[in-house]
Structure 1
Amino acid sequence: MSVPPCRFSISESDAPLELLPQDISAWRQGNCSTEYVHRLDSGVPGPELVIQALTHGNEICGANTLIWLLEHGVMPVKGALTLIFANVAAYQTFDPQRPFASRCLDEDMNRLWQTESLLRPDSRESHRAVELLPYIENADSLLDLHSTTYAVAPMLIYPDNLRNREFADSMQYPFPHLLYDLGSYHTGMLISEHERHSDAGVSLVAECGQHFAAATSAQALATALHFIALHGMLDADVEIPDWGYAPDKSAGHYRIDRVLQAQTERFRFAEPVSGFERFSRGELIATDDQELIAAPFDNCALIMPARVPVEGEEVVTLAEYIDRN
């Protein structure tokens, strides 16, 4: 299989570079057979948790969270907690003049978790995924930490089933929840692969805020500690900090409907958007050369619109706003 190149805008970022990537070489040699993987075993029976960072190399909030957990010696009180720095090779290419370019090397590491890529890896990301797959398959619950291009509200994303929704609601997470049907939304996502192997735990993506913002790393840490605590695995002496961001009117449950791709280089949104704008059925969302793209249903929210639309690439996810948290 030929792997398309990892594509990104080469223009300077409009995201504030409040935090830059840290040197994580001290964490290269973990206590597993795989580099940049650390398994913290309590020695007491309990769940197997995995927290993954750097699925995308420029999303540094997750790496900062894992560094904090390791430097502060956070150990689960039962079960085991595995911490994974995923696409380290991409992370190490960071250039402050082109900060989005370190997202990946060859392909998006959050689109390759499916049989064809994992059985016949042909990119640096897919080879790394094969190394990490045993930890993903062995996990009862998985948290994958991400950040976003625009300064939109943090959000949780998860397959729509009772255990994921009940767990996410129990986090008292006062930000958007995005629900999707397994198999109908980015089948190569890490949490979808985990969900196929788990029948008791939970599979969550946390989008923690804008790339490189200090508040985003604070949000990621709070999310990770809530995740550990709700599994009954956090020592009572570990204080969970406040969320990095204040909730806003975008909070609620949304059901993902579809992903739009730019069919031409002339794709343009009808108005400036950053995310969670809502449209009524029939309202104009965008144009793609001569095509008019209208909202296909009421309460149609735009999720993670592309910063720079690229022909043939996804430009926005459409989701139906369901209810408040």
Structure 2
Amino acid sequence: MSVPPCRFSIAESDSPVELLPRDLSAWRQGNCGVDYVHRLESGVAGPELVIQALTHGNEICGANALLWLLERGVRPVKGSLTLIFANVEAYNAFDPQRPFASRCLDEDMNRVWHASRLTQPDTHEARRAIELLPFIENADSLLDLHSTTFAVAPMLIYPNNECNRRFADQLAFPFPHLLYDLGQYHTGMLISEHERHSDGGFSLVAECGQHFAESTSRQALAITLRFLKLHDMLDEAVELTDWGYLPDSTAGHYRIDRVLKAESERFRFVEPFNGFERFNKGELIATDDQVLVAAPFDNCALIMPARVPIVGEEVVTLAECL
């Protein structure tokens, strides 16, 4: 199967780099027979949780959150907790002069989690996913830690069902929630793969803020600790940390509708967008060669617009503000 390469702009970053990757080599040898995977057991019956960082190699915040737990010896008070540093080779390729380039080595690791990619793995990311798949399939609940290109509000993303919605609301996450229908939005996402195997568990992505901001690492730790606490697995001696960003009292829920791709090299947004800009039906969003790209419905929000549009690649997600 031919896989499109992991493409990126070679331009220098236009975002300040406040964080650099840390050396993870001391944590390479886990206790599960798979590099950079650490299973922490309580010895008491309880849920099987998985928290994954570095699905994308330049999203440093998740690695810092897992390191915080490991270096302080935080262990679950019941059940088990598996911590995964996913795409460490991409992370190790980080160059502060080209910080977006280490997102992946061959392909987006958050698009490989389906049978068509995992039955014949022919890229670094697909082969790594095969190694990690047993942990994902056996998890009762999963948290996947990410960050964003632009400094937009942190957000939760999860499949639209009553179980996930109830859990996410109990987290009291004071930032936007993005809901999507399983099978209709990026079928190769990690949390979609987990959702297909889950029976009453929770599948969440936490987008924690801009890739290289210090506050994004604080946000990743804050959601990680609350995820554990809501499962009654966090020792009372471990205090919850503050959110990395100022809570947004206007944050709401959004239903993901569709993903737009650039059909030509001439795709251009009508103005620079960072995300969460809203449009009424028919208002112009972009042009793609001679084609006008307009909002297809009212209360249409732009989610994670591409920093550098690339022909054939996704450029923005459209969501309806609920």
TM-score (normalizing by structure 1): 0.98
Whole-angstrom CA distance in 2 between matches of 1:250 and 1:218 = 21
Aligned to 1:264: 264
Q: Do the aligned residues in 1 keep the contact of 2:174 with 2:249 (CA within 8 Å)?
A: no
Aligned to 1:52: 52
Whole-angstrom CA distance in 2 between matches of 1:235 and 1:194 = 26
Task: After TM superposition, list the pairs within 5 Å mapping 1:40-119 onto structure 2.
Answer: 40-119=40-119
Q: Do the aligned residues in 2 keep the contact of 1:265 with 1:310 (CA within 8 Å)?
A: yes
Query: Displacement, 1:16?
Result: 1.3
CA 1:295/1:321 → structure 2, altered by over 3 Å: closer, same or farther? Answer: same
Whole-angstrom CA distance in 2 between matches of 1:238 and 1:51 = 17
Task: After TM superposition, list the pairs within 5 Å mapping 1:13-24 onto structure 2.
Answer: 13-24=13-24
Structure 2 residue matching 1:52: 3-state secondary structure: strand
Task: After TM superposition, list the pairs within 5 Å mapping 1:154-165 onto structure 2.
Answer: 154-165=154-165
Q: Mean alpha-carbon deviation: is it higher for 124-133 or for 240-249?
A: 240-249
Aligned to 1:233: 233
Whole-angstrom CA distance in 2 between matches of 1:106 and 1:18 = 26
Whole-angstrom CA distance in 2 between matches of 1:251 and 1:270 = 25
Structure 2 residue matching 1:46: 3-state secondary structure: coil
Task: After TM superposition, list the pairs within 5 Å mapping 1:171-210 onto structure 2.
Answer: 171-210=171-210
Tell me the alpha carbon deviations over residues 119-177 of structure 1, each in whole angstroms, 9 at most, x when there is no partner: 11000100000000000000000000000000000000000000100000000000000
Query: Displacement, 1:250?
Result: 5.9
Whole-angstrom CA distance in 1 between matches of 2:195 and 2:34 = 22
Task: After TM superposition, list the pairs within 5 Å mapping 1:253-292 onto structure 2.
Answer: 253-292=253-292
Tell me the alpha carbon deviations over residues 50-105 of structure 1, each in whole angstroms, 9 at most, x when there is no partner: 00000000000000001000001110000000000000010010111111110000
Q: Mean alpha-carbon deviation: is it higher for 267-276 or for 256-265?
A: 267-276
Whole-angstrom CA distance in 1 between matches of 2:183 and 2:57 = 25
Q: Mean alpha-carbon deviation: is it higher for 247-256 or for 288-297?
A: 247-256
Whole-angstrom CA distance in 2 between matches of 1:229 and 1:13 = 36
Q: Do the aligned residues in 1 keep the contact of 2:12 with 2:97 (CA within 8 Å)?
A: yes
Aligned to 2:39: 39
Provide structure 2 residue ranges, at least 5 long, that are not aligned to the other structure: none
Task: After TM superposition, list the pairs within 5 Å mapping 1:4-15 onto structure 2.
Answer: 4-15=4-15
Query: Displacement, 1:197?
Result: 0.2
Whole-angstrom CA distance in 1 between matches of 2:170 and 2:97 = 40
Q: Do the aligned residues in 2 keep the contact of 1:153 with 1:247 (CA within 8 Å)?
A: no
Whole-angstrom CA distance in 2 between matches of 1:37 and 1:169 = 29
Among the aligned pairs, what percent are the same residue?
77
User: Is 1:245 aligned to residue 242 of structure 2?
Assistant: no
* Matched positions, count: 322
Q: Do the aligned residues in 1 keep the contact of 2:114 with 2:188 (CA within 8 Å)?
A: yes
Query: Displacement, 1:15?
Result: 1.6
Which amino acid is 2:21 matched to? P
Q: Do the aligned residues in 2 keep the contact of 1:279 with 1:300 (CA within 8 Å)?
A: yes
Whole-angstrom CA distance in 2 between matches of 1:12 and 1:107 = 21
Structure 2 residue matching 1:182: 3-state secondary structure: coil
Whole-angstrom CA distance in 1 between matches of 2:252 and 2:13 = 29
User: Is 1:294 aligned to residue 294 of structure 2?
Assistant: yes
Which aligned segments of 4 or more residues in structure 1 are displaced greater than 3 angstroms? none
Query: Displacement, 1:247?
Result: 2.5
Tell me the alpha carbon deviations over residues 186-221 of structure 1, each in whole angstroms, 9 at most, x when there is no partner: 000000000000011100000000011000000000
CA 1:117/1:250 → structure 2, altered by over 3 Å: closer, same or farther? Answer: farther
Aligned to 1:224: 224
Aligned to 2:147: 147
TM-score (normalizing by structure 2): 0.99
Which amino acid is 1:103 matched to? R
